[in-house]
């Protein structure tokens, strides 16, 4: 029962963590009525919680492996009591900055679940599981929607203090329902980092999450005040619209994970970045509230689906190092929520508008699309390479002049020649001398006519030993129909009975002049 409770428990833990994480940005319009905050510092104040919430994701993910999610969640909620209470008594901008910095613990708990939950489920279900856990993002919507409504009744200070009750309640809940027997992993942190930091895909996934989750966080903290300032919406109305953005992105996250479990994740990610590129371009032209809503909702759809898809990709490419990679990727995503608000604020202070910032988002999304397309085709090439290298038959590829272009490991095993010894040479180095010149003419005419040939031939290994092989030659053509290469596949049939060589049949053909000299 305890193990089955971990997904709902940890998801609710994340909901609370994210609720606490965005207290300041959700209540900022109310806080500004009591505390003087310069306009040029608003973006800094809303971005501050994101800093620690991003940086702490790596160590919290690591300690979730070492100590278990139960201990880390309990400790996190207890530590959050102090900044939450401090903010409720704040009387200056400095107080808010200090308290906001430590609110980052609430956002950092994200890496605890993505590290812990994969221990309870098979690899085929991790997209959906991580997507369900990621729905904890809805905590930002709950605070963004509910906090302003409550603050109009009891004031922002007491609204903040209500979170102290929730934090204590969930700390106790984890004491009783947390899994004390969770599998522990105690590999040193730096050793884990050294094992993955040279892998290009780690940094590609970090970039993708930087954009998708960064967009989610940035719009969450930026929209409430922006809608009030630029469209003169009521504070509660702005909060509800922001909550709508969060809900769309949050509930599409498990959909993204579910889709990635069933379809090619990279192909799905292409669609995500196409959508983000188009949406950012729409927002860049400072449209009316109607088009602005369309652009924001498109961002929400792309961010939600993208977040779910990316955390399906991590265990696919980093099966044994998923914990540390999840920590690094989620940390970069958190930082993605820190820089855009600052960039938008700076650009607005210089130009008086946000267009350049949104155009920058569109260009980064477009660049990410190019990378995903490249990764998609690299994967297809990798599969072809794996087939080429792992097949038990010897393979050699020659150009039109007869020079060897490539061989596989089975070629080396069967002939004794290494790749370095044969590249650029003619296959005649394998010649045994048993085949007549007339045979080559007959065989080559068949290749030109049919594009392929199959038969038996005696060849010689590097050590001088002769062996009988079954050889198949195929001409490779380009899109115009012109031959560009020849591929020969062969296997040793010296000790096989004649009637077994072709599944009961036989061939009188014996050799190829091009591939076998």
Q: How far apart are CA 279 and CA 299, in angstroms?
A: 6
Residue 502 has pLDDT above 50, yes or no: no
User: Of the ranges 49-53, 292-296, 464-468, which one carries the lowest mean pLDDT score?
Assistant: 49-53
What percentage of the chain exceeds 90 in pLDDT?
Answer: 20
**pTM (predicted TM-score):** 0.66
Residue 401 has pLDDT above 60, yes or no: yes
Q: What is the mean pLDDT of residues 114-126?
A: 81
Residue 305 has pLDDT above 90, yes or no: yes
Tokens 């579910």 correspond to what residue? 258
pLDDT grade for 25, boundaries at 50, 70 and 90: confident
Task: State in words which class domain 391-492 has.
Answer: alpha beta
pLDDT tens-digit series, residues 479-491: 667 788 888 888 8
DSSP 3-state of 396: strand
Burial (CB count <10 Å: 0-12, 13-18, 19+), residue 441:
exposed
Spatial CB neighbours of 434, under 8 Å, sequence gap ≥ 6: 458, 466, 510
**Contact yes or no for 269/221 (Cβ under 8 A):** no
Q: How far apart are CA 433 and CA 431, in angstroms?
A: 6
* pLDDT recorded at residue 510: 42
Residue 509 has pLDDT above 50, yes or no: no
* pLDDT recorded at residue 1: 75
pLDDT grade for 514, boundaries at 50, 70 and 90: very low
* pLDDT recorded at residue 512: 43
What percentage of the chain exceeds 70 in pLDDT?
Answer: 90
DSSP 3-state of 120: helix
pLDDT tens-digit series, residues 411-452: 888 999 998 898 888 888 888 888 877 777 787 788 888 888
Closest CA relative to residue 513, chosen from 450, 448, 462, 467: 448
Residue 503 has pLDDT above 50, yes or no: no
pLDDT tens-digit series, residues 342-395: 676 677 677 777 778 788 888 889 999 999 999 888 877 776 676 677 777 888
Architecture of the domain delimited by 1-387? Up-down Bundle (1.20)
Closest CA relative to residue 337, chosen from 57, 24, 105, 50: 50
Q: What ranges do the domains of the chain cover?
A: 1-387, 391-492
* pLDDT recorded at residue 511: 42
């Amino acid at each position: 029962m305890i193990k089955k409770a971990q997904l709902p428990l940890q998801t609710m833990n994340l909901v609370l963590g994210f609720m606490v994480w965005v207290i300041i940005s959700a209540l900022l319009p109310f806080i500004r009525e009591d505390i003087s905050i310069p306009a040029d510092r608003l973006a800094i104040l809303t971005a501050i919680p994101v800093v620690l919430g991003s940086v702490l994701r790596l160590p919290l993910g690591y300690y979730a492996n070492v100590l278990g999610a139960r201990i880390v969640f309990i400790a996190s909620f207890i530590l959050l009591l102090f900044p939450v209470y401090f903010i409720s008594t704040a009387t200056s901008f400095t107080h808010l900055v200090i308290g906001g910095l430590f609110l980052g613990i609430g956002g950092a708990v994200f890496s605890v679940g993505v590290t812990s939950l994969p221990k309870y489920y098979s690899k085929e279900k991790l997209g959906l599981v991580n997507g369900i856990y990621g729905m904890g993002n809805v905590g930002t919507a709950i605070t963004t929607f509910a906090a302003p409504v409550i603050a109009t009744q009891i004031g922002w200070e007491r609204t903040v203090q209500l979170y102290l009750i929730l934090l204590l309640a969930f700390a106790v809940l984890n004491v009783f329902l947390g899994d004390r027997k969770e599998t522990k992993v105690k590999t040193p942190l730096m050793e884990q980092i050294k094992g993955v930091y040279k892998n290009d895909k780690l940094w590609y996934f970090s970039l993708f999450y930087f954009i998708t989750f960064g967009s989610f966080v940035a719009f969450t903290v930026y929209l409430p005040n922006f809608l009030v300032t630029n469209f003169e919406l009521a504070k509660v109305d702005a909060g509800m619209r922001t909550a709508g953005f969060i809900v769309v992105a949050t509930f599409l996250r498990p959909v993204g994970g579910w889709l990635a479990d069933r379809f090619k994740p990279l192909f799905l990610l292409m669609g995500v970045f196409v959508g983000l590129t188009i949406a950012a371009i729409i927002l860049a032209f400072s449209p009316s509230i109607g088009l602005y809503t369309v652009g924001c909702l498109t961002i929400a759809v792309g961010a939600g689906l993208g977040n779910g898809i990316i955390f399906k990709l991590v265990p696919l490419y980093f099966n044994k190092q998923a914990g540390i990679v999840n920590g690094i990727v989620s940390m970069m995503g958190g930082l993605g929520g820190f820089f855009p608000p600052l960039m938008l604020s700076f650009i607005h202070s210089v130009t008086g508008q946000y267009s350049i910032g949104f155009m920058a988002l569109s260009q980064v999304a477009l660049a990410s699309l190019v990378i995903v397309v490249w990764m998609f085709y690299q994967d297809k090439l990798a599969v072809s390479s794996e087939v080429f290298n792992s097949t038990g038959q010897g393979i050699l590829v020659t150009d039109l002049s007869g020079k060897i272009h490539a061989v596989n490991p089975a070629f080396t095993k069967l002939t004794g020649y290494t790749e370095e010894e044969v590249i650029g040479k003619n296959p005649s180095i394998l010649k045994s001398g048993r085949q007549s010149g007339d045979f080559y003419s007959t065989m080559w005419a068949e290749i030109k006519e049919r594009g392929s040939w199959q038969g038996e031939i005696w060849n010689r290994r590097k050590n001088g030993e002769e062996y009988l092989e079954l050889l198949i030659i195929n001409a490779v053509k380009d899109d115009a129909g012109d031959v560009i290469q020849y591929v020969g596949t062969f296997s040793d049939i010296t000790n096989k009975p004649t009637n077994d060589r072709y599944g009961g049949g036989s061939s009188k053909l014996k050799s190829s002049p091009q591939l076998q000299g």
